[in-house]
Every structure is written in structure tokens, then in C-alpha cells.
Amino acid sequence: MNLCSYLKMKKHILVVPGDGIGQEVTAVGKKVLEKIAEKFGHEFTYDEALIGHAAIEAAGNPLPDETLEKMRASDAVLFGAVGHPKYDNDPSAKVRPEQGLLKMRKELGLYANLRPIKLFDELLSASSIKPEILRGSDILFFRELTGDIYFGEKGRENDGDTAYDIARYSTYEVERIARKAFDAAMTRGKKLMSVDKANVLETSRLWREVVQRVAKEYPEVTVEHQFVDSAAMLLIKDPRRFDVVVTANLFGDILTDEASQIAGSMGMLASASIGDGTGVYEPIHGSAHDITGMGLANPMASVLSAALLLDISFGLKEESDAIINAVDLVLKSGVRTRDIADADTPKDKILGTDATGEALLSYL
């Protein structure tokens, strides 16, 4: 067992709910962290900060300086979601919630996004993929987070009739994410898939060259290279083929959302954005304004993000496993939120955000 689990820890956690259901699910995630601190004798302190649409409304800036300072001063960040419908249909808006998210990643040096795709057996029926194809799937994505087309030069020409976004990667950027992925592969099945589009894109050709070079430092790891379109097909056809996957920012964004079908819902998928400083832990789902304030959001991805926080930032593996076990027990008890319920789920077992949170706490 991890020695850290026997030591009382004092840690400061910043809660950044963001927009929409982010505010609802992080409230549950925080309660779970409070319960863990009580159960294991740790001392966690908390603060909150604004980002996204909420920050624009309050301060005119999607990432206020105060929020950034609080992030840098914290031991970890439990994050919600950003986004608002008013910006989705207004491409001309100069200030947007997502700008706060991108700036946060850049300013904190969060170059590696980890997205575990692990299926709970009780949710086999929640996916549109056949259970016999899904069963046993366990994938860990490493998505590069501070390069690629999201951070390259962008603009308009010809009176706005032509638009461009430049994808750019350096050897250093690819090397550091590749090494994190290879290190993880060494602790798992010693298999790694690198996803690119090297038959078309120069950035992908650099990506493949660098991954091939780094692979020589890890002779025990079996490496497979796949083009992104092929990988997208295989992810649905044969998800058990995947173990550790490393890919660029844009490809990772798309593939991990696709992989939510393996888990049954985005409401079940956590993520960790890490670098050399404060880590940020968040569900992969968005702000979901269509159900905001209705108490319907699935809080389990936020709760599982809290488990990642404890494991990765604090080294508290036993505490992290306790949360994952609580999620498993809640699902085994038949409890479901609307997004993971099926036609056979009894109505009294379909719970809202807060009631699901209470069920989770009861198993801790």
C-alpha cells in the first residue's frame, strides 16, 4: 500500500465550477473529497474561482488574473466545464468562454491530458456497441494539450471570406507527451498506439519520427502506428485492441469523445490535465445548458476526476480506489442517472445529481 495513505496530508484544492452543469457536478465532487478527508484523516482546504462565461459576466475576462493566481497557488484544481449557447451561434464574438480554458492550459503548462476509458460491467447495456465487443476494454489516452491547430496562428483574409488555422508542433512538444505515454505503458500492458495522419500532414510526419525515436528508449513496449481515420474505426470495431494511446491535440479531442461510447456516456469519463505544476481534473463532458439547473446531470465523471486528483497529484492511491469502488457499488445497486439508464432501469433507481451524490457518499 502507498505510504502516503497512512500520513495525514494537508492540501489546498481550488474548485473551479465554470458554466452550466459544471457548477452542479463539482459540488458533488467536492463533497466526495470532503468525505475522503474525514475518512482517512487528511486536511483539505478549498477555495473557488471563476472561468468561462461566468467569468465573462462577472469580470469581462474568461480567465481573470485572480483565478490564474489561485490556480498556481493550489495543490490541485477540481474543474467543471466551460461554454454557453449564446456564443455557439455567434462566430463573430471576440471574447469566448473557451478562450479561458485554452489560456489556462497554456499558462499552467498543462501539456498532457490523460483520459482513462474504463468500462464498468454494469454499464455494458448503456453503450450502443455490442457487449461482447466492449467487455474488458481498458484504454488510457494521452492527448497533447498545448500545441497543434488549437494554439497555432489563426485569422481571416479576403474581407473575411477566407479563414486559416495553422497546426504547429516542435520535437520537444512531441517528446515530452510521448515519454509520459511510454512510462504509463510500462506500468500496464506494455502496448502503445500512436495516432497521427502522417500520410498527409507534415506535423504528423514529425510526430511519427519523434515517437519512433523515443520508442528506442522503451524496447519492452510494443508500438503500433495508426492513421487517425483508421484508429477511429478500430475504436468502435475492436476497443480491446487499445491499451495506451498517444495522439495530437485535435485528434485526441475527437477520439476521446468517440470513446465515451465505450463507457456508455460522457458522464462517466474523467480526465487529468497535467504538466510540471498544478494539475487540473475535470469531466470530459461540456456545460450541457439544456439540462442546467434541472438536477439531472451525472456527477460520476466529476467524482472520478476527484479520484484521479487524489492518485496523480497527491499520491493517495488507496483513497482514489475507495472512490472508484464506491462508484462501482452504486452502479451494482442499480442506481442510474438519466444518461446511463436503459429501458429496464426501474424508475425509482433513476436518480438526479444530488441523490446520486448521496448514494456515492453512503458507500464511502
176 among annotated binding-site residues: no
- Is there a catalytic annotation at residue 253? yes
| Cell numbers standing for residue 309 | 486528483
C-alpha separations of 312 from 249, 292, 306, 309 in Å:
21, 30, 10, 5
240 among annotated binding-site residues: no
Give me the count of residues in the chain.
Answer: 364
143 among annotated binding-site residues: yes
Query: At 161, phi and psi to the nearest 5?
Result: -80, -15
Q: Determine which one of 75, 253, 321, 328 is catalytic.
A: 253
**Which amino acid is it at 144?**
E
- Is there a catalytic annotation at residue 196? no
290 among annotated binding-site residues: no
C-alpha separations of 331 from 133, 201, 300 in Å:
21, 43, 10
257 among annotated binding-site residues: yes
Q: Determine which one of 257, 321, 328, 354 is catalytic.
A: 257
- Is there a catalytic annotation at residue 150? yes
- Is there a catalytic annotation at residue 229? yes
Q: Determine which one of 150, 169, 218, 281 is catalytic.
A: 150
CB 69 within 8 Å of CB 273: no
Q: Determine which one of 47, 229, 276, 342 is catalytic.
A: 229
105 among annotated binding-site residues: yes
Known binding-site residues for Mg(2+) equal: 229, 253, 257
Binding site for substrate: what residues are annotated? Answer: 105, 115, 143, 229
Name the residues annotated as catalytic: 150, 197, 229, 253, 257
Annotated binding site: 105, 115, 143, 229, 253, 257
